[in-house]
């Protein structure tokens, strides 16, 4: 790689990754925790932007980014990046799909098993010296039909793991066809709504998918279901969950993502909704860590480094 290429890195990345980038003979500036105006002012100097999700990349940020050629996103979701704004400027966007798929698949399975076997409640009881077996009798995954919406990298990883139990798996993906395999049967949303005992979302956030998981959507299921969401929080309309849980339409939920995840800035209305959900023993939360493992991080860093090398043909 020719020297003098200027790269701006604006999320927290480990030192070993930063050193790997610098060995390519580039000029790397590492700036984290700055406000949007700061990044907007310095971005015109740089050819490459490396980030996770600290800053929204939109028309406003791109106004004077005349030197920018490449945006590297450490992760999968790009709902915070205006791809049209990049495309019209000839700026290439590269993310890392599949790098954290194994991690997400494992977390989805973990959430589901905790729900089916009442592990959250059982753990809390034993910690209080309460020993109850019958009230904590569980359900075997092998007896259920699992519905997966979105059969990309993470949906496939989850399906492969769940299939080991012997359960039936139905998958819907609007953008794919002929993908029935040893793990899943290609299905429609309507078929999933008719047969599923479990529903797991593995789709990106778009205008089409935002609030797809609302009351009318879940009421269309023939059975009561267990719900998993390890994609994006806004896919589910949070305000509809209490009624669905109260009615028993949703038997339990594993939520790795929330509609509003910045706990310091949530609205009073959303805080009340979260408190309602937090009081329920059939809800399992985790702080958007489905794909957050040491292994997945190394996968992502290696992908970014390789993308940088390929873009500059070294």
| Catalytic residue positions, numbered | 232, 261, 288
Backbone angles phi, psi at 64, to 5 degrees: -115, 20
Rounded Cα–Cα distance for residues 156 and 299 (Å): 18
Instruction: Give the Cα-Cα-Cα angle 56, 227, 181 (nearest 5 degrees).
Output: 90
Instruction: Specify whether the CB–CB gap between 197 and 226 falls below 8 A.
Output: yes
Tokens, residue 129: 């010296």
Tokens, residue 103: 């991690």
* Closest by CA position to 51, among listed 69, 30, 22, 67: 30
* Closest by CA position to 141, among listed 120, 112, 121, 118: 112
3-class secondary-structure state, position 40 = helix
Q: Which stretches does DSSP call E strand in 142-267?
A: 145-149, 168-172, 185-186, 198-201, 225-229, 250-255
């Amino acid at each position: 790689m020719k020297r003098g290429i200027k790269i701006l890195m604006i999320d927290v990345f480990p030192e070993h990754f930063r050193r790997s980038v610098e060995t390519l003979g580039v000029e790397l500036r590492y700036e984290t925790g700055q406000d949007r105006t700061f990044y907007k002012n310095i971005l015109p100097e740089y050819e490459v932007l490396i980030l996770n999700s600290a800053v929204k990349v939109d028309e406003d940020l791109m106004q004077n980014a005349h030197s920018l050629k490449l945006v590297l996103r450490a992760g999968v979701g790009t709902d915070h990046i205006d791809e049209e704004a990049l495309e019209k400027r000839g700026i290439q966007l590269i993310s890392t799909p599949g790098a954290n798929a194994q991690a997400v698949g494992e977390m989805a399975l973990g959430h589901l098993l905790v729900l089916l076997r009442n592990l959250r409640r059982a753990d809390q009881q034993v910690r209080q010296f309460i020993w109850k077996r019958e009230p904590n009798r569980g359900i075997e995954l092998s007896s259920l039909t699992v519905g997966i919406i979105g059969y990309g990298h993470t949906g496939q990883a989850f399906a492969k793991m769940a299939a080991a139990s012997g359960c039936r798996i139905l998958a819907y993906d609007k953008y794919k066809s002929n993908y029935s395999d040893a793990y899943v049967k290609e299905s429609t949303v309507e078929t999933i709504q008719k047969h599923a005992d479990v529903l797991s979302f593995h789709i990106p956030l778009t205008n089409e998918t935002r609030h797809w998981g609302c009351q009318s959507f879940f009421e269309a299921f023939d059975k009561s279901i267990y719900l998993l969401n390890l994609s994006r929080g806004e896919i589910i309309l949070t305000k509809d969950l209490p009624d669905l849980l109260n009615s028993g339409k949703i038997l339990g939920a594993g939520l790795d993502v929330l509609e509003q995840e910045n706990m310091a800035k949530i609205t009073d209305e959303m805080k009340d909704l979260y408190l309602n959900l937090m009081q329920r023993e059939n809800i399992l939360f985790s702080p958007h860590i489905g794909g957050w493992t040491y292994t997945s991080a190394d996968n992502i860093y290696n992908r970014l480094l390789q993308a940088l090398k390929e873009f500059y043909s070294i």
